[in-house]
Amino acid sequence: MRSLFTAFVTLTLAVLAGCASGPPPQTTADLARANTLVAAAEQGGAQQYAAADLQAARDEAQQANQLANSDPSRADELANEAAVDAKLANARVQNAQAQHGLEQLRQTLATLRSEEQRNANAPATEAPPSDTPQTSPPPDQPPQGTAPLDQVPPPQQNSPPPPSNTPPGPGSSVNPLE
């Protein structure tokens, strides 16, 4: 009888030790994943863009942590729900940030179009903006405002200089051939 009692006590202690050792490994892994995703959502800005989803994830993770030892099955469910809500919060943050970036691009595009329209309506005599690089014409074309070399008359040789309307100064002679 004594051995039967010892076996019963040993079995009871073994069962209690198994229960007291903590939640099953799957529950522990689900809780860790849920807590990590909730923390990532908090750091990613979910409080600003997805506060309700973040709060639901926090609440579910907290309940899962509390039930891990007493009801591991329910703790697994809550941990998985917390993970899904945290992922949803992160997705909403990414969406909001993408929408914000898109709006900035649209504003930039509108500004560029406005400047382009203003420049198209400006008189052609304006100089290009200083940040625009100046390019030289191709070698087979003369610069703008000049005639090609074959259209320039050759200089006249041995012709006297044109007459001057100003009187000669001191030390100069009137004779242009000197």
- DSSP code string of 36-78: HHHHHHHHTTHHHH-HHHHHHHHHHHHHHHHHTTT-HHHHHHH
pLDDT score for 158:
59
Q: How many residues can be counted in the chain?
A: 178
pLDDT score for 148:
55
Nearest partner of 61 among 86, 79, 39, 40, judged by Cα: 79
pLDDT score for 27:
79
pLDDT score for 8:
45
pLDDT score for 4:
42
Cβ atoms of 30 and 79 within 8 Å: the answer is yes
Cβ atoms of 168 and 175 within 8 Å: the answer is no
Sequential pLDDT tens for the chain (178 residues): 555 444 444 544 444 445 555 677 787 899 999 999 999 999 999 999 999 999 999 999 999 999 999 999 999 999 999 999 999 999 999 999 999 999 999 999 999 999 999 988 877 655 556 665 566 656 666 556 555 555 555 555 555 555 555 555 555 555 555 4
pLDDT score for 157:
57
pLDDT score for 26:
82
Domain spans in the chain, listed from the N-terminal domain onward: 23-95
pLDDT score for 24:
77
User: Taking the complete model, does pTM exceed 0.85, yes or no?
Assistant: no
